[in-house]
Amino acid sequence: MEKTKIGIVGCGKISGIYFKAGKTFEILDIKACADIMPDRAKAAAEANGCQAMTVEQLLADPEIQIVVNLTIPNAHYSVAMAAVAAGKSVHNEKPLTITREEGKKLLAAAKAKGVRVGCAPDTFMGGGLQTCRKLIDDGLIGQPVAATAFMTCRGHESWHPDPEFYYKVGGGPMFDMGPYYLTALVSMMGPIKRVTGSARVTFPERTITSQPKNGTKIKVDVPTHVAGVMDFASGAVGTIITTFDVWGANLPRIEIYGTNGSLSVPDPNGFGGVVKYYPPERKVEWKEMPLTHGYAENSRGIGVADMAYALRSGRAHRASGELAYHVLDVMHAFHDASSQNKHAMLESTTQRPAALPVGLAHGQLDA
């Protein structure tokens, strides 16, 4: 099979799994990588058998068709716009951009150039969430009437080597982890039309305890506890909490409650996990459901492979810029609702991405 050549920009913590995707998906060929810190690009290129380039060289390479943008949130927009200006499709790590205006400009620029914009997360394409999507589409729980989504932790300064960005604009628990939960919910239940929310900064200063910056203080610029309520266009009502302020909790990750039963959805920050179903009876046990789809192991980069197939056939790609823009709009809307003391109506909407077919061969996405 002729492969699609990929250039990775940003060779930090998350890049390793994307380099691995180049080996998993037969359509992908990671030709080059670049980083604002040239030593990082050099080390990643050596470790993964590709070429180290400057960002400018990578964007000028006529063979590279998709740029995978793994920079920090604050650089997502500028790097993606440069890729689009160079005539390349681009797949960003999440969030798509920091502001709505940037997101809109990026999608418009890509449309004008005839290139694609994609965005993480692509975990909704994993075996766990695709199984849930199929069970819902098959009518197992009837009509979804409500959903809950909870991401609780005490922040990332205990393990990430450079955790400052999590507490700056574009970070915070909603922009960092919300994309997993909201993308999963939209993929299963469709777009959101109205939200409200409350958000707070609990600790104005935090101390890094990971290496090499142990002891360094971070000034917190964004809310670190965000609670929200969502009205889906379907009429279902969702509740979400994302927080960097909680030491321990007994909450589920995602549950979907239907007219004919409930579904326990695995962690949307992963690809597999346990799916459970509660039937329309009283006082019975949750039943574990077998996964109907593959890619239940860490398959980050599956969205990039899907875009490569989509570019070839002309079909829509699943982890799309439109989906990511809707998620970005929802995340902002929780914060807007909190600061403006009101519900926020969503201007954006999106289609549910197509479900993955059952029975795909490993490493392939189209038959």
Ligand X SMILES: NC(=O)c1ccc[n+]([C@@H]2O[C@H](COP(=O)([O-])OP(=O)(O)OC[C@H]3O[C@@H](n4cnc5c(N)ncnc54)[C@H](O)[C@@H]3O)[C@@H](O)[C@H]2O)c1
- Residues of the shown chain interacting with ligand X in the complex, contacts defined by CB under 6 A: 9-14, 35-37, 40, 55, 70-73, 75, 79, 93-94, 162
SS3 helix, strand, coil % of the chain, rounded to 5?
A: 35, 25, 45
Between 10 and 303, name the residue whose CB sits nearer to ligand X: 10
CB of 258 to ligand X, least distance (A): 30
CB 199 within 8 A of CB 338: yes
How many other CB atoms are there within 10 angstroms of residue 289's CB atom? 17
Element (H, E) at 135: helix 127-137
CB within 8 A of 180, min separation 6: which ones? 94, 121, 123, 151, 268, 269
Q: Which residue is nearest to ligand X (CB)?
A: 12
Alpha carbons 315 and 2: distance in angstroms, whole number: 18
How many other CB atoms are there within 10 angstroms of residue 184's CB atom? 28
In this structure, the strands spanning 117-119 and 51-52 are unpaired
Between 35 and 329, name the residue whose CB sits nearer to ligand X: 35
CB of 58 to ligand X, least distance (A): 9
Between 13 and 23, name the residue whose CB sits nearer to ligand X: 13
CB of 285 to ligand X, least distance (A): 34
- Is the Cα torsion angle 10, 11, 14, 19 positive or negative in sign? positive
CB of 176 to ligand X, least distance (A): 6
CA angle 350, 353, 355 (to 5 degrees): 155
CB of 248 to ligand X, least distance (A): 21
Between 134 and 300, name the residue whose CB sits nearer to ligand X: 300
CB 239 within 8 A of CB 148: yes
Q: For residue 8, give the nearest of 318, 298, 300 by alpha carbon.
A: 300
Between 226 and 344, name the residue whose CB sits nearer to ligand X: 226
Between 263 and 330, name the residue whose CB sits nearer to ligand X: 330
CB of 22 to ligand X, least distance (A): 16
CB of 93 to ligand X, least distance (A): 4
CB of 313 to ligand X, least distance (A): 28
Between 301 and 353, name the residue whose CB sits nearer to ligand X: 301
Q: For residue 119, give the nearest of 156, 66, 155 by alpha carbon.
A: 66
